[in-house]
Structures are given as C-alpha cells and as structure tokens.
C-alpha cells in the first residue's frame, strides 16, 4: 500500500482543480515571475569588481563568489589576468601569482579559492605601473602617422630643432 505524503497530496489537489485558467504548480518553491524581485547588477561594474576580488582575498578574506546571490554571475566577473597582475606587485604574493599564471586553465572559482586559502590577510594596495605621457612622442605620432614604437625610433634620430618644429606644427594655441 502506498502512503500519500503531503507533497503528493498537494500535487493531486492542484491537478484535480478544474478552473478555466491554467494553474501552474510551483515545484521549486519560487513565486510567479511577476512576484520575483529583480536583482540589480548594474551597480557592480566589472572593472570595480576585479579590484573588489583582490581586496576580498587580500584584506577581508570574504568569499565573494559563494556569498553572492548568483554565484555563476559573480564567477563570470572574476578576471584572473588582472587579479594575477595585481598580486604580482607584492613580494609575498608574486610566487602565488606566478603559480596561477602557470595554471591558467584552472577554473575561475578554483583560482579564487586558491588565493583565499594561500594568502595571509594583509593590506595590499598600491599604484599600478603606467606608461608616462610623453608629448613629444604624441606629436611625432600625429605628424608622421605612425605607432608608438616607430615614434620612439624617430625620437632618437630627431634633433631638438626638429622636435621644436614638430611641436609648433601640432600646437593648437590657446592656454596650455
């Protein structure tokens, strides 16, 4: 003899209901699509999320992927390249970053977990290395219509008088 459980009784009751409207049984406990609240992910920009991952691993040791409402979406926002680059700037994390660069095929979540477990909490925030702005190179690029590496070669060959002529040619005037 079969015992009827509460769930099967509810299913049978829903199926036996003879309304004109189609009644959909909710197997997963979720409300109708109109009743579900929408999750606004627009506030979490991807560029900011990368640095939030680095901060979470370094300082707070908070698992952002598993604690998220939608872990798959949060895992998609994790950028291994930028995270590895950020950790390559510090002497205590450079070997871990090199290890993760060597194992680039590892899933994003697994890489994040590796950093969570391997790194000690510490305040790690610093300036990123950026190329210096060189107005002479920009002017040479504009006049000769070439890329930056070719402009560097031209800069080695050009004299100061030639550079002054190029700068005057590009100069737009005004207060600058």
Which tens digit of pLDDT belongs to each residue from 25-77? 555 554 444 443 444 445 555 557 778 888 888 888 888 888 888 889 989 99
CA atoms of 131 and 141, how far apart (whole Å): 16
Q: Report which of 56, 55, 58 is spatially closest to residue 66, judged by C-alpha positions.
A: 56
Average pLDDT for residues 130-150, to the nearest whole number? 90
CA atoms of 161 and 152, how far apart (whole Å): 17
The domain ranges of the chain are 46-118, 135-170
pLDDT in tens, 117-132: 999 988 888 777 777 8
Q: Report which of 85, 78, 68, 66 is spatially closest to residue 107, judged by C-alpha positions.
A: 78
Answer yes or no: are the C-beta atoms of 37 and 9 closer than 8 Å.
no
């Amino acid at each position: 003899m079969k015992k009827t459980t509460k769930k099967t009784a509810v299913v049978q009751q829903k199926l036996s209901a003879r309304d004109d409207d189609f009644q959909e049984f909710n197997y997963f406990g979720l409300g109708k699509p109109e009743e579900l609240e929408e999750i606004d992910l627009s506030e979490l920009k991807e560029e900011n999320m990368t640095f939030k991952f680095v901060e979470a691993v370094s300082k707070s040791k908070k698992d952002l992927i598993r604690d998220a409402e939608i872990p798959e979406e949060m895992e998609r926002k994790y950028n291994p390249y930028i995270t590895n680059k950020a950790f390559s700037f510090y002497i205590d994390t450079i070997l871990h970053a090199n290890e993760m660069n060597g194992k680039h095929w590892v899933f994003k979540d697994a890489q994040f977990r590796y950093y969570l477990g391997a790194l000690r909490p510490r305040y790690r925030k610093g300036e990123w290395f950026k190329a210096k702005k060189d107005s002479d190179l920009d002017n040479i690029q504009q006049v000769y219509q070439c890329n930056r590496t070719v402009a560097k070669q031209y800069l080695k060959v050009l004299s100061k008088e030639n550079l002054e002529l190029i700068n005057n040619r590009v100069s737009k005037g005004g207060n600058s």
